[in-house]
Amino acid sequence: MSFYDDRILPHLVNIACSSRPTRKQREKVVPLAEGEVLEIGFGSGLNLPFYDTLKIHKIWALEPSEGMRRKAAPVVEGSGINVEFIDLPGESIPLEPNSVDTVLITYSLCTIPDPVAALDGTRRVLKPGGRLIFCEHGIAPDENVRRWQRRLNPAWSYVAGGCNMDRNIPDLLVSNGFELAVDERAYIPGLKVLSYNYWGTARAAS
Ligand SMILES: C[S@@+](CC[C@H](N)C(=O)[O-])C[C@H]1O[C@@H](n2cnc3c(N)ncnc32)[C@H](O)[C@@H]1O
């Protein structure tokens, strides 16, 4: 891993993901988590303050980047929540089938190199009736914004740890075996190419 990825990127990602609009998004989705939770792409632990601690009993914090886990460690320690790190990518979830009640993914499906594999794994570990809770940025509805997303994506992805501006999040979920139960979309304040958000809940399709 390069010095940039290990030492600089975690701080940049933490700052970028701490904005007021993203905090407001976290407020909407994170408290929905219940029971045993798997968070994919745990990052620096920015979702931790938003969990309803009366509803959850454990969080598996899957995060492949050592730099991000280092950044998250003090947040985890101060949270009083039972958090266990998994130092693997979302494409290789090591948990038992049907073992978690909730999978939470926020602003990580944009970055995971093989989101299809990560979603396959998500379906595998969710208990029957368990929920995927998501909040992501992705492809914008307006063609002029999409054009800029396509133009800027290669350079952006290079500096932003593999993040993609233009993934179609609902399509990705539905074409990989999920039914959307809550499906919300809107621009949140910020650069238009990065601020079209998709959030909601989904269950494995029957
Ligand atoms: C933009 S950050 C979001 C972090 C956190 N979910 C949040 O909402 O603040 C994307 C995260 O995905 C992680 N990531 C990168 N590749 C991944 C993979 N293959 N599987 C799981 N997470 C990955 C990165 O290390 C980073 O922590």
pLDDT digits (tens, 9 = 90+) for 125-158: 999 999 999 999 999 999 999 999 999 999 999 9
Q: Which of 28, 39, 108 is the best mutation target for the ligand 1 pocket, counting ligand atoms within 8 Å of the beta carbon and taking the most?
A: 108
Mean pLDDT for all residues in the chain: 97
Nearest CA to ligand 1 atom 13: 41
Nearest CA to ligand 1 atom 16: 112
CA–centroid distance, 181 to ligand 1, in Å, is 24
Ligand 1 interacting residues, C-beta cut-off 6 A: 13, 17, 40-41, 43, 46-47, 62-65, 68, 89-91, 106-108, 111-113
* 206 pLDDT higher than 90: no
Complete DSSP assignment for the chain: --HIIIIIHHHHHHHHTTSHHHHHHHHHHGGG--EEEEEES-TTSTTGGGS-TTTEEEEEEE---HHHHHHHHHHHHHH-S-EEEE-S-GGG--SPTT-EEEEEEES-TTT-S-HHHHHHHHHHHEEEEEEEEEEEE---SSHHHHHHHHHHHHHHHHHTTT--S---HHHHHHTTTEEEEEEEEEE-SS-HHHHEEEEEEEEE--
- Predicted model pTM: 0.98
Virtual CA dihedral for 172, 176, 178, 180, nearest 10 degrees?
20
Nearest CA to ligand 1 atom 26: 43
* 1 pLDDT higher than 80: no
Nearest CA to ligand 1 atom 8: 106
